[in-house]
C-alpha cells in the first residue's frame, strides 16, 4: 500500500471511529449530553439529531456510495468540528482537543481521498493546496 493510501485510510477510519463513538455516546446518554450542550450554548434538541447525523456521516465517508454525498459529509464534519472547537474555546472548559484532532484527520482524509478511491472527487485533491 502506498504512503498516500495509508494516510487516507488511517485518517478516514480514525475520523469515522471518532464520529461513530460520538454518535453512540450521544444516543446512550441523551440527557447528560443535552446538559453539556446547554452549557455550551446550543439547544438540547440537537443531541438526538446530531447523533444520527454523526453515524450517517461516518458511514458515508467510509462506504462512499456517492461522491457528492461524501463531499457533503466532509463539509458537514468540517463545520461541525469548527463549531465544536469554537464552543469549547468560548466555554473555556478545555474540551477542544477532540475537535482539533478531528479537524486534522478530516483535512488529511479529504485531501488524500483521490489517491485511494477509484472514482475521484472533483474537490478532494492535494492539487488544491499546490494550486495546480
Distance from C-alpha of 8 to C-alpha of 14, rounded to nearest angstrom: 10
Mind listing the pLDDT tens digit for each residue in 69-85?
999 999 999 999 999 99
Alpha helices in 29-96, H assignment, sequence order:
30-40, 46-63, 67-91
How far is Cα 34 from Cα 105, in angstroms, rounded to an integer?
26
The pTM of this model reads: 0.87
Q: Which of 79, 80, 58 is nearest to 69 (CA)?
A: 58
What's phi and psi for 95, nearest 5 deg? -95, 30
Cell numbers placing 61: 465517508
pLDDT tens string 25-66: 999 999 999 999 998 889 999 999 999 999 999 999 999 989
Which one, of 8, 2, 1, lies nearest residue 121 by Cα? 8
Whether residue 33 contacts residue 20, with contact meaning beta carbons closer than 8 Å, is answered with no
Distance in angstroms (rounded) separating the CA atoms of residues 16 and 96: 18
The domain locations on the chain are 3-130
- Comparing 9-13, 31-35, 61-65, 89-93, the range with the smallest average pLDDT is 89-93
Amino acid at each position: 500500500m502506498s504512503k498516500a493510501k495509508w494516510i487516507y485510510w488511517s485518517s478516514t477510519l480514525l475520523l469515522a471511529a471518532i464520529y461513530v463513538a460520538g454518535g453512540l455516546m450521544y444516543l446512550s446518554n441523551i440527557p447528560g449530553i443535552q446538559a453539556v450542550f446547554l452549557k455550551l450554548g446550543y439547544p438540547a434538541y440537537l443531541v438526538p439529531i446530531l447523533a444520527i447525523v454523526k453515524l450517517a456521516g461516518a458511514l458515508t465517508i467510509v462506504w462512499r456510495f456517492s461522491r457528492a454525498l461524501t463531499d457533503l459529509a466532509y463539509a458537514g464534519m468540517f463545520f461541525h468540528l469548527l463549531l465544536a472547537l469554537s464552543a469549547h474555546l468560548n466555554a473555556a472548559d478545555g474540551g477542544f482537543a477532540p475537535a482539533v484532532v478531528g479537524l486534522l484527520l478530516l483535512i488529511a482524509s479529504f485531501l488524500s481521498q483521490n489517491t485511494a478511491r477509484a472514482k475521484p472527487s472533483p474537490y478532494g485533491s492535494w492539487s488544491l493546496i499546490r494550486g495546480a
